[in-house]
Amino acid sequence: MIDFLVIGGGIAGLSAGARLSAHGSVTVLEAEDALGYHASGRSAALFEEGYGPPSVVELNKASAEFFFSGDYLTPRGLMLVGGKDQKDQFSDDVASLRMREIPLQDALSRIPILNMETVGYAAISEGAFDIDTDRVLQDFARTIRHNGGSVLTRQKVIGIQKDELWHVEAHQSFEARNIVNAAGAWVDEIANMAGIPPIGIIPCRRSMARIPAPGGLDVGGWPMMLGVGETWYAKPDAGKLLVSPAEAEPVAPQDAYADDMVLAEGLARYEEMVTEPVTRVEVNWAGLRSFSPDGTLVLGPDPADPSFIWSAGQGGYGFQTAPAASKLVADLTIGAEPDLPAQTIAELSPERLRQ
């Protein structure tokens, strides 16, 4: 019999499982062949403390120490790029992202392919970092195993029943005192199986393409580029560029694939701001970012049954919030006093969606 049965082997499930493994026996069930197969394995992997709504920013701040002390971050920087006719929206983005406007020549010295005929404005944040997402996932999994827990793949959940305990049917059968629902785009399906009201999760597709380094340049030191209004972004990755249209298209839970038309439109928006055309896409893919109805995370025990615990609605913020989000889930589950502001806890609570 298991104290905490975690459904979902992405960043939400592994981080929650790692925290809870200090307080009881943990088993993590992942439906696919590998951990982090869906959203977690397709992340742009950036830590920017000021990125997200207020409750997410609080989680970011509370997660920073974990990332820095564990040496999971490397400096990247984030550059906002606006067209000559986008001054108002550019100014709004600078304010909301807490960035610093810089002269165009400064921007060009950082990213030499910027097109000075179309780019009208640029701003920079030095506080953006690449996250070593694979190491984060593996270290959380290692913590679970070190504390005597199990991390199992190929365990798609097909049935859940409750008497005094939870009875979960997957490739094997499991009994548990508590379920942690960290199933990403599938959290409402898990809730329905368990007889718990769903939260109205909205899975949204985001497409991505990897292109060769523009003009054969060394892109390793470039900041990530973000189009005004988050209409595209481009991020250096292993000597190449990852370019995304940054769409958020609602779709059913699925193994997502890039939408060719949407991807082409996003690449065109990127191309408009640079001097080097995209001549080849090496590979493309998509991931699902899953949002709650109000756009922020859902963390903690369900008011209908406190033994059913949510770690859901990560949206695009899963990795950067994981250390603090998982600690909050564990604190609320075991009855410890969380170290986050009461308002933030309320904004993240499943209870807000039950009123």
CATH of the domain at 241: 3.30.9.10
Are residues 119 and 223 located together in one domain of the fold? yes
Structural domain includes residue 140: yes
Please tell me the predicted confidence (pLDDT) of residue 39. 55
Number of H helices, E strands in the chain: 9, 20
- For the chain, list the strands marked E by DSSP: 2-7, 26-29, 46-48, 73-75, 78-83, 100-102, 119-125, 128-131, 150-152, 159-162, 166-169, 173-181, 202-211, 224-227, 233-237, 240-244, 249-250, 283-291, 298-302, 305-312
Given a contact cutoff of 8 angstroms between Cβ atoms, the answer to whether 291 and 150 are in contact is no
Confidence of residue 40 (pLDDT cuts 50, 70, 90): low
Structural domain includes residue 68: no
In angstroms, what CA-CA distances link 12 with 24, 38, 311?
18, 12, 6
Q: Residues 228-269: pLDDT tens digits?
A: 999 999 999 989 999 999 998 999 988 888 999 999 999 999
Given a contact cutoff of 8 angstroms between Cβ atoms, the answer to whether 253 and 189 are in contact is yes
Q: Residues 344-353: pLDDT tens digits?
A: 999 999 999 9
Are residues 306 and 350 located together in one domain of the fold? yes
Are residues 196 and 300 located together in one domain of the fold? yes
Residue 135 pLDDT > 80: yes
Q: Residues 284-332: pLDDT tens digits?
A: 999 899 999 999 999 999 999 999 999 999 998 999 999 999 999 999 9
Q: Last residue of some domain: 237, 269, 291?
A: 291
Q: Domain total for the chain? A: 2
Are residues 333 and 269 located together in one domain of the fold? no
| pTM for the full predicted model | 0.94
Q: How many CB atoms lie within 10 A of CB 66?
A: 16
Are residues 145 and 277 located together in one domain of the fold? no
Are residues 301 and 185 located together in one domain of the fold? yes
Domain that holds residue 163: 2-59+132-200+294-354
Structural domain includes residue 69: no
User: What percent of the chain is modeled with pLDDT above 70?
Assistant: 97
Please tell me the predicted confidence (pLDDT) of residue 254. 87
In angstroms, what CA-CA distances link 283 with 19, 244, 256?
36, 12, 14
Closest to 9 in 3D by CA, of 111, 210, 155: 155
Confidence of residue 37 (pLDDT cuts 50, 70, 90): low
Q: Last residue of some domain: 240, 270, 291?
A: 291
Structural domain includes residue 66: no
Q: Whole-angstrom Cα distance, residue 125 to residue 161? A: 49
Residue type, 148: G
Are residues 176 and 267 located together in one domain of the fold? no
Structural domain includes residue 251: yes
Domain containing residue 196: CATH number: 3.50.50.60
Are residues 299 and 278 located together in one domain of the fold? no
Closest to 280 in 3D by CA, of 240, 246, 245: 240
Structural domain includes residue 95: yes
Tokens of 191: 């809730």
Q: Last residue of some domain: 291, 317, 342?
A: 291
Are residues 177 and 311 located together in one domain of the fold? yes
Are residues 222 and 342 located together in one domain of the fold? no
Structural domain includes residue 21: yes
Mean pLDDT of 41-55: 83
Residue 24 pLDDT > 90: yes
Are residues 217 and 264 located together in one domain of the fold? yes
Are residues 147 and 285 located together in one domain of the fold? no
DSSP state of 184: G
Structural domain includes residue 72: no
